[in-house]
Amino acid sequence: MTVPNPVVGARPISSVRLPGLAVLLVLASAIVMAALVLLPLLVVFHDAFAKGIGKYLDAIRDPDAVSAMKLTLLVAAIAVPLNAAFGIAAAWCIAKFEFRGKGALLTLIDLPFSMSPVVSGLVWVLLFGAQGWFGTWLIDHDIKIIFATTGLVLATILVTFPFVARELIPLMQDQGSDEEAAALTLGAGGFTTFWRITLPNIRWALLYGVLLCNARAMGEFGAVSVVSGHIRGLTTTLPLHVEVLYNDYDFVGAFAAASLLASLGLITLVLKTGLEWRHAGELAANRRH
C-alpha cells in the first residue's frame, strides 16, 4: 500500500496542520464509522459481559453452546477444503488455458455471490426436502440431508463457493504460465511443476481466499437457517445458537455466543489486513470481495 500524498487544494500538507476542510471530513468519517460500524461491535462485548464474567463463562460452557461450536467447526472443516480444492482446479483451467465458454464458466462461478443466502438454502430444500425432487427416495432409504449435518454442509458450500476461486483466478492470469512451461521443458512432471512452481506462487492468495471462505462458512446464518430445522444441540451451528437464545430472551447467552463469532471476525480482519500489508503484490488485492 502506498502512503497517499495528502492533498488539499492540490497543496501537500503535513499531518499536523490539517486545514479546516480536511479536519471536518476526517471527523465526519470517524463519526460515521464509530456510530455505524464500531458501535455494534462494542455492544456485542458489552452485552455479553453485562451480568458479569461468571454468567458469560456459564453461557459459553453450556452443552448446547459447546455442541454448536463443534458443529460449526465440523461444517467449516468439510466445506472450506472442498471449496479450496475446487478453487485451485478452476483457477488452473481458467488461468492457464484458452478455451471456448470461459466467460460463461466465470459467470457461473461468481453466481452464488449475487444470490440471497436464503435462496442458497432454499435450493437444497427443493432438491432434498420432504417434498423435494429426491425427497421420497431419501425417506425410503432412510437418508437425512435436510435438518441434518449434510444439509448444513451443502448450504455452506454453496454460499462460500466462489471465495477461493475468485482470489486465485485473477492472480494466476496475471502470472501467466511461463514459469510452469520452463519447468516442464526442463523435465519436471506435471505434479512436480504444480507443487514446486505454481503453489509457492499462489500461496498467499490461497491463504487469503481460505481465510475469507472460512470466516463466511463459520458465520453463515441465512442459508443454514433454512436447512437446519433448529434442533438444539444437533443442527444448530453457532450463529443459529445465537438466534435460538435471542428469541428465548436469553440475551447474555446470545451475546456471549455472538462474542465468539465477533472474535472470529476480528481475528480474520487482522490476519486479512496483515496479508494485505505484507503481501500486497502477491494477492491481486485490488479485486477484493
Q: Which residues between 214 and 253 bind another protein (CB under 8 A)?
A: 215, 218-222, 225-226, 239-240, 242-243, 246, 251
Q: Of 2, 103, 187, 281, which one interacts with another protein (CB under 8 A)?
A: 2
Which element (helix H / strand E) includes 96?
helix 63-96
Q: Does 90 bind another protein (CB under 8 A)?
A: yes
Establish if 60 lies at the interface with another protein (CB under 8 A): no
Binding mask 121-140 for another protein (x = CB under 8 A): -xxxxxx-xxxxx-------
- Give least dist CB 63 to another protein, A: 20
Nearest approach, Cβ of residue 196 and another protein (Å): 14
- With contacts defined by CB under 8 A, name the span among 15-23, 57-65, 137-145, 201-209 that binds another protein: 15-23
Q: Is 110 exposed, middle or buried (0-12, 13-18, 19+ CB in 10 A)?
A: middle
Burial of 106 (0-12, 13-18, 19+ CB in 10 A): middle
Task: Pick the binder of another protein from 20, 54, 63, 101 (CB under 8 A).
Answer: 101
Q: What are phi and psi of 8, to 5 degrees?
A: -130, 125
Among positions 137-196, residues that touch another protein (CB under 8 A) are 154, 157-158, 161, 173-174, 176-177, 180-181, 184-185, 190, 193-194
Q: How far is CA 191 from CA 169, 195, 197, 200, in A?
A: 19, 6, 10, 13
Closest separation in Å from C-beta 119 to another protein: 4
Contact segment (CB under 8 A) with another protein among 53-61, 62-70, 85-93, 202-210 equals: 85-93
239, 240, 241, 247: CA torsion to nearest 10: 110
Site for another protein in 105-124 (CB under 8 A): 105, 108-109, 111-112, 114-119, 122-124
- All three cell numbers of 146: 435436510
Nearest 5°: CA angle at 76, between 221 and 198? Answer: 125
- List the one residue out of 206, 212, 130, 146 whose CA is nearest residue 172: 206
